[in-house]
Amino acid sequence: MKPLFIAGNWKSNKTTTEAMEWLANFKAQTSQIKLDNMALVLCVPFTLLPVLKEQIGQLPMALGAQDISPFQDGAYTGEVSGRQLREFCDWVIIGHSERRKNFGETDELLNKKVEQAKSVGLKIIYCVSDEKIPVPSGVDVVAYEPVWAIGTGKTDTPENAARVITSIKNASHVPLAIYGGSVTPQNVQSFVKESSMDGVLPGGASLDPINFFNLITACNQE
Ligand code: PGA
């Protein structure tokens, strides 16, 4: 099996207690299998990063944030800087369509966020809704996520997702490209079997530990 990159996006969900329950249940599942050939990242709210970093233990899963300040440390009330994030995580999602839509994030602002992430050595999952959206240089993973597929239960076809991903890879030279938008344990195999697809970005399906575990193991089944 080819190496796969799977990043769960918890969005604005879970308290500390709920995150600890998730972790205990997920650990109980993963102790039974090897997660070879998988790079797992869990992208959680800022508030959960410290406790998850402390409790994640030997689990072969990196932590990520879901946003980053476009500025360095300083007088930017409410922002969390790259340097602050770097203390707790290795990855950050930048440019998710929910941030573009609900918070008016523009390509120009997102470029600044990418620069901040790069300056502190955070690895970047950069989200785009189609192949026409510009991808800043130096991002590590591009996630193709059609807006209409996010949280709706409707997915792109694996064939079209693979076509978009190939075109993104050709244009941006990004090392890895993945698909997101209503990925489930039931449909994940149809996406990852496409040769250009390097993995997936599940949101809703990452919230339940058993569902997330089933999604990961379903990638192995032919
Ligand atoms: P979804 O979310 O899997 O719930 O559709 C994906 C995402 O927004 O990254």
pLDDT tens sequence across 151-206: 999 999 999 999 999 999 999 989 999 999 999 999 999 999 999 999 999 999 99
The mean pLDDT of the chain is 96
Q: Are 182 and 214 in contact (CB under 8 A)?
A: no
What is the rounded CA–CA span in Å between residue 147 and residue 130? 9
Task: For ligand 1, pick from 5, 148, 183 the residue to mutate: most ligand atoms within 8 Å of CB.
Answer: 183
Look at residue 221 and tell me whether its pLDDT is greater than 70: no
17-21, 58-62, 81-85: range with lowest mean pLDDT:
58-62
Taking residue 93's Cβ as centre, other Cβ atoms within 10 Å add up to 25
Give the position, in ligand 1's atom list, of the atom nearest the Cα of 183.
Answer: 3
Give pLDDT, residue 58: 85
| Ligand 1 atom with least separation from CA of 127 | 9
Over 90: is that where the pLDDT of 34 sits? no
CA distance 211 to 181: 15
Buried b (16+ CB within 10 A) or exposed e, 158-186: beebbbbbbbbbeebebebbbbbbbbbbe
Predicted structure pTM score: 0.97
Decide: 60 and 86 in contact? Cβ < 8 Å: no
Whether residue 222 is predicted with pLDDT greater than 60 in this model: the reply is no
pLDDT given for residue 36 in this prediction: 77
Distance 94 CA to ligand 1 centre (A): 14
DSSP secondary structure of 20-79: HHHHHHHHHHHTTS--TTEEEEEE--GGGHHHHHHH-TT-SEEEEES---SS-SSS-TT-
Residues 6 or more apart whose CB falls under 8 angstroms from that of 49 comprise 63, 65, 85, 88, 89
Quote the pLDDT of residue 57: 86
pLDDT at residue 126 in the model: 98
Report the Cα–Cα distance between both ends of the chain, in Å, rounded: 10
Q: Which of 18, 96, 98, 115 is catalytic?
A: 96
Given a cut of 90, whether residue 144 has pLDDT beyond it is yes
pLDDT at 118 over 60: yes
